[in-house]
Amino acid sequence: MASNLDQSIDAIHSGQQSRIIRNSTEAYLIDREDAIVQQLVVRYRTNELTDAELRGKIGEIAGLRGFREHLETSIQKGMIEAERAHRDG
C-alpha cells in the first residue's frame, strides 16, 4: 500500500504531466470542437444532418470536453497536493 507521501508525489507529478499535455493540446482541442460545430451547422443548413450524425458529433464534443475536464481536475489535484506539501514542510 502506498504511503501518503507517495500518493502526494504521484498527484503532483500527474498534475504536472497534465499541465504539459493541456498546454500542448488545448488549441487543437478547441479548434477541433469548433470544426465539429461548423460541420453540424453546414449539414443542418443543407438539410443533410441526420439524427445519427448529430448524436455522433455531440458524442465527439463531449469526449473532447471530458478529456479537457480530466486534465483540469488532475492539474487542480496536483496543485492542492503541492500546496499541502509546501505548507506541511
Task: Select from 89, 85, 88 the least CA-distant residue to 16.
Answer: 85
Residue 88 lies in a domain: no
Residue 86 lies in a domain: no
Beta-carbon contacts of 20 under 8 Å, excluding residues fewer than 6 positions away, are none
Confidence at residue 86, expressed as pLDDT on a 0 to 100 scale: 84
The set of cell numbers assigned to 79 is: 496543485
Domain of residue 11 covers 4-81
% the chain with pLDDT above 90: 84
Residue 44 lies in a domain: yes
Residues 64, 33 contacting (CB under 8 angstroms): yes
Residue 89 lies in a domain: no
Residue 33 lies in a domain: yes
Residues 81, 12 contacting (CB under 8 angstroms): yes
Note the pLDDT tens digit of each residue in 23-57: 999 999 999 999 999 999 999 999 999 999 999 99
Note the pLDDT tens digit of each residue in 47-88: 999 999 999 999 999 999 999 999 999 999 999 999 988 888
As for how many domains the chain has, the answer is 1
